Structure 1
Amino acid sequence: MNTRNPPRIALIGECMIELQHRADGSLQQSFGGDTLNTAVYLSRELGEQGVVDYVTALGDDSFSDAMCQSWAAENIGLGMVQRLPGRLPGLYCIQTDAAGERRFLYWRNEAAVRDCFTTPAAAPILAALPEYDVLYFSGITLAILGVQGRERLLEVLSQARKRNARIVFDNNYRPRLWASVEEARAAYRSVLPFVDIALLTVDDEQALFDYVDCEAVFTAYEQIGTPEVVLKRGAETCLIRCAGESFEVPAQKVERVVDTTAAGDSFSAAYLAARLKGASPADAAEAGHRLASRVIQVPGALIPRG
């Protein structure tokens, strides 16, 4: 990937209050969300070799204050964060079974981020986004922005591509966030022609578009014209198509899976960081697997630094 040095990356999405349900019935409170998880891990992976900003809307409450403090501690820029008076962030609870698989319970319908791109204060943010070297968003971003927000995102993507920005998309399809699968398909198809790197979870692609196998996914994205497609498959090998080449990179085995939360988000962060630093797709996938293997051995979305 050719960008200025250090590259400026903006990640667009939602951070929520996270409650981790423990075996003894207690709750451990932290913060998380797919693009925020990726932003944190990306900032850690890049260090001084990149500038990472988060684009979202929060309330003026103490939880929103704490979020901003924690992001600043991770060297994530706050200049694109709106603070909406009287509003609150969303909340979710993670319940994890004995095999490390998790169940999510959400309270997010009134979250401030729903108006991220529709407030008067959003105008300078929307104008600034095309100036970034890399824009990163997910299927969850598409869902929470709503119809009007998605229209404005499309305008940003169009302008960004004209300025040679790189667009990175993680599919993260969550059916409960959409009125129908048809609405979700239309939203995804509207943004995919702008995407340079598609970071895809195979199960989500099959759930959304009914692809029969990985080859069908690759064929569909080849027809769209996506230059770089990464198929994340959990504990199985990662499959990549880039510039006419194919790569297959095994996942790293771990003795015990504690919590799979943010496994895909951390993989995406390490993959993108490696690509921004000049690594090949195969080497980038190895970096993604390494980080994800550490993340799934610790409860919660964000592992301690170090």
Structure 2
Amino acid sequence: MSSPQRVALIGECMIELQEDGAGLLRRTFGGDTLNTAVYLSRLLHDKAVDINYVTALGDDPHSEAMLAAWQAEGIKTGLVQQLQGRVPGLYMIQVDPSGERHFSYWRDTSAAKAYFDAQVTPLEAALSDIDVLYFSGISLAILPEAGRERLLQAASTLRAAGGKVIFDNNYRPRLWRDAAEARQWYARAYASCDIALITLDDDIAMAAGVVTTEQALATALALPVPEVVVKQGGNDTVVRLAGQPPQSIQPTRVEKVVDTTAAGDSFGAGYVAARLTGHTPAEAAATGNTLAGTVIQHRGAIIATQAMPNIKL
């Protein structure tokens, strides 16, 4: 029997507080790549794929609760570091009547920022056993410069050994000194990956100068990445394999958007799950759209297991 594919997703999971009426707050856990890991694990639970989350946590009760929650979702936690005296970051979500979310963050001393403080991290030590590495613009942004260098080096090492690297451009301006700094690191991330998942609005937000949607789309499709996926919200998703013309895939139509939290993260999970199980980019985009279309009809980043759509892979 062949060993399972091993997928590692690196980033930050935070305590999520969401207004739940009458001044009450509901506590859950979330973070872009963690959300993707959870949905990947649910989609691939019956496949020969191990989903591993890579981060640093503290030694506090919230960190222990996070680990237990991830393990209950089938996520492997052997690449997680627990740092004495540190705690996770925290964020609060407020959702407006249109379903758009607004965030407030408390994450400056988050344990995840210190993942690469170790001389050799669990991720670096395990690279030879990893088949796929998934990271995002937020994964890069939260790290100090030395940590970013080591993450990109790990990506390059994995690719050189035949592994695959996936980068989601998730852009949060407040995490960067300025857009120029972000563009520098994103260019290196694109050069280090096999699949780029691009939210076009984020791409436009960090562009140098004013660009139109058409210009941004053309620039994204011209990136030197073998596989490019451009997400455009309610408009068509566009996928492009190197040497082939782009394909447009209609998104899933949703009557009422409740909360757009984790829309892109869940799309990424659907897309990657489909690609790992042999589906074409167009089929994978349709899968990502189906999952994202379900997620945005519920509150919070992680929907209940019973609310998952019936996706066959």
TM-score relative to the length of structure 1: 0.94
Q: Post-superposition shift, 1:190?
A: 1.8
Deviation string, structure 1 residues 163-182 (Cα, Å, up to 9, x no partner): 11111010011000011212
Aligned to 1:95: 94
What is the CA–CA distance in structure 2 between the aligned matches of 1:169 and 1:184, rounded to whole Å? 14
Q: Equivalent residue of 1:198, what SS?
A: strand
Moved more, 128-137 or 287-296: 128-137
Deviation string, structure 1 residues 258-304 (Cα, Å, up to 9, x no partner): 11100110011001000110111111111111111110111100001
Q: Post-superposition shift, 1:130?
A: 4.8
Q: 2:31 aligns with which of 23, 30, 33?
A: 33
Q: Post-superposition shift, 1:90?
A: 0.2
What amino acid does structure 1 have at the position aligned with 2:17?
L
What amino acid does structure 2 have at the position aligned with 1:239?
V
What is the CA–CA distance in structure 2 between the aligned matches of 1:198 and 1:125, rounded to whole Å? 21
> Which 5+ residue runs of structure 1 have no aligned equivalent?
none
Kept in 2, the 8 Å contact 1:6–1:48? The answer is no
Aligned to 1:233: 232
Matches within 5 A, 1:97-116: 97-116=96-115
Aligned to 2:150: 152
What is the CA–CA distance in structure 1 between the aligned matches of 2:200 and 2:221, rounded to whole Å? 16
What is the CA–CA distance in structure 2 between the aligned matches of 1:245 and 1:305, rounded to whole Å? 37
Aligned to 1:73: 72
What is the CA–CA distance in structure 1 between the aligned matches of 2:37 and 2:212, rounded to whole Å? 30
Kept in 2, the 8 Å contact 1:218–1:241? The answer is no
What is the CA–CA distance in structure 2 between the aligned matches of 1:289 and 1:224, rounded to whole Å? 23
Deviation string, structure 1 residues 140-182 (Cα, Å, up to 9, x no partner): 0000112010111121111111111111010011000011212
Q: How many residues align?
A: 302
Kept in 1, the 8 Å contact 2:115–2:121? The answer is no
What is the CA–CA distance in structure 2 between the aligned matches of 1:293 and 1:124, rounded to whole Å? 35
Kept in 1, the 8 Å contact 2:80–2:122? The answer is no
Q: Equivalent residue of 1:299, what SS?
A: coil
What is the CA–CA distance in structure 2 between the aligned matches of 1:203 and 1:130, rounded to whole Å? 35
Q: Post-superposition shift, 1:214?
A: 5.1
What is the CA–CA distance in structure 1 between the aligned matches of 2:122 and 2:20, rounded to whole Å? 42
What is the CA–CA distance in structure 2 between the aligned matches of 1:216 and 1:255, rounded to whole Å? 30
- Identity rate, percent: 52
Q: Post-superposition shift, 1:14?
A: 0.3
What is the CA–CA distance in structure 2 between the aligned matches of 1:264 and 1:192, rounded to whole Å? 18
Q: Equivalent residue of 1:179, what SS?
A: coil
What is the CA–CA distance in structure 1 between the aligned matches of 2:267 and 2:99, rounded to whole Å? 17
Aligned to 2:279: 279
Q: Equivalent residue of 1:209, what SS?
A: coil
- Relative to structure 1, the CA distance from residue 42 to residue 264 in structure 2 (aligned partners, 3 Å threshold; closer, same or farther) is same
Kept in 2, the 8 Å contact 1:131–1:163? The answer is no
What is the CA–CA distance in structure 2 between the aligned matches of 1:44 and 1:141, rounded to whole Å? 22
Aligned to 1:253: 253
Kept in 1, the 8 Å contact 2:261–2:300? The answer is yes
Aligned to 1:6: 4
What is the CA–CA distance in structure 2 between the aligned matches of 1:23 and 1:237, rounded to whole Å? 35
What amino acid does structure 2 have at the position aligned with 1:228?
E
Matches within 5 A, 1:1-306: 6-49=4-47, 50-120=49-119, 122-210=120-208, 212-213=211-212, 216-217=215-216, 219-221=218-220, 224-243=223-242, 244-306=244-306
What is the CA–CA distance in structure 1 between the aligned matches of 2:221 and 2:257, rounded to whole Å? 34
Kept in 2, the 8 Å contact 1:96–1:259? The answer is yes
What amino acid does structure 2 have at the position aligned with 1:260?
T
What is the CA–CA distance in structure 2 between the aligned matches of 1:113 and 1:261, rounded to whole Å? 21
> Which 5+ residue runs of structure 2 have no aligned equivalent?
307-313
Kept in 1, the 8 Å contact 2:170–2:198? The answer is yes
Q: Post-superposition shift, 1:127?
A: 2.6
Kept in 2, the 8 Å contact 1:130–1:157? The answer is no
Q: Post-superposition shift, 1:112?
A: 0.4
What is the CA–CA distance in structure 1 between the aligned matches of 2:266 and 2:15, rounded to whole Å? 19
- Relative to structure 1, the CA distance from residue 234 to residue 218 in structure 2 (aligned partners, 3 Å threshold; closer, same or farther) is closer
